[in-house]
Amino acid sequence: MTPSKPDPHTLSSRASRVVLAMALVTAISGYFMGLRQVDRAHGPGASEARQAALFPTAAPNRTSVSPAPSSQEAPTIVDYAGLGNSGLRPNAHWKSSLESLRRDDGRRGAGSTAAAALLPASDAERLLAVKRRAGRRAFDGAPPVVPHPVDATSSANCRVCHAEGLVVRDVVAPRMSHPEMGNCTQCHVPSGGGVPGVASEWSLALAANDFVGKASVGRGSRAWPGAPPTIPHATWMRENCSSCHGTTGLAGLRTSHPERALCTQCHVPDGGFAPGLAEIAELAGSGPGPGLNAPR
């Protein structure tokens, strides 16, 4: 008898032990996962609330596109047995339609900038985007305010989402158009106030102000229908077109041809939107010289 041959009895008892151990582990982990599952049942509602807090202005857009969650209240905890009858369904935002998935991906999903032909934004989309843009600026050309709380000390957190840009459903974190500027909060300040505490008592309504800022002049001009439009705004600190017009831009501002990376090959800055690059170049080489203003 060679010792290498295993005894079938021992084998079966070993196998049964392994099976038993597996069953035990599955049961225990299943139990805890079950607990977590119940905990997650709070998920949609809680994350909804958190999102609403983070992106207050984005909320209306979202609800207009997809049905709003029926209730903000946390669902009742149920056990496994009752799960089938609990009425709990996948997230309200869950997309089961292939069409809509494709649409989102094709339009501005990250990494899908292949030569897929895109339609130009519709006027309505454009209007929406322009309106949203205007809502975050004192005037066309002012740095936009930040529609969510910010880290009060460090700009590193800004870069997490804005370095490359991010789209989470209708919430767009635009890509930085001037990443070389390191001190984000120098120009971009939160619109909601970062100071905690007794807000209702201490914060007053908006500072009353009669200022009316200039609006965006609208579209660039075209030499003929179908010609590439000119750039209807200053390009100073906006050299990175993809920041607003790329796949992580607002739907109404996006380009229909993100695969063509060299924007200024066809779209040129329009005169009348100083300061342009030419002036900055001029500055770099000169000391104080005659200014823009002729003496009066």
- CB 230 to other proteins: min, Å: 6
d(CA 269, CA 228): 12
Nearest to other proteins of 88, 234 (CB atom)? 234
Rounded-to-integer distance, Cα 175 and Cα 165, Å: 4
**Nearest distance from C-beta of residue 66 to other proteins, angstroms:** 11
Q: How far is the CB of 166 from other proteins (least distance, A)?
A: 21
The backbone region for 147, taken as left when phi is positive above 0, alpha when psi lies in -120 to 50, beta otherwise, is alpha
Task: Give the dihedral of Cα atoms 64, 189, 276, 121; nearest 10 deg.
Answer: -10
Are the C-beta atoms of 194 and 147 separated by less than 8 Å? Answer: no
- SS3 label, residue 134: helix
CB of 70 to other proteins, least distance (A): 20
- In the complex with other proteins, the residue whose CB is nearer, 33 or 274, is 274
Whose Cβ is closer to other proteins: residue 8's or residue 295's? Answer: 295
Identity of the residue, 84 or 295, whose beta carbon is nearer to other proteins in the bound complex: 295
State the Cα–Cα distance between residues 69 and 47, nearest whole angstrom. Answer: 12
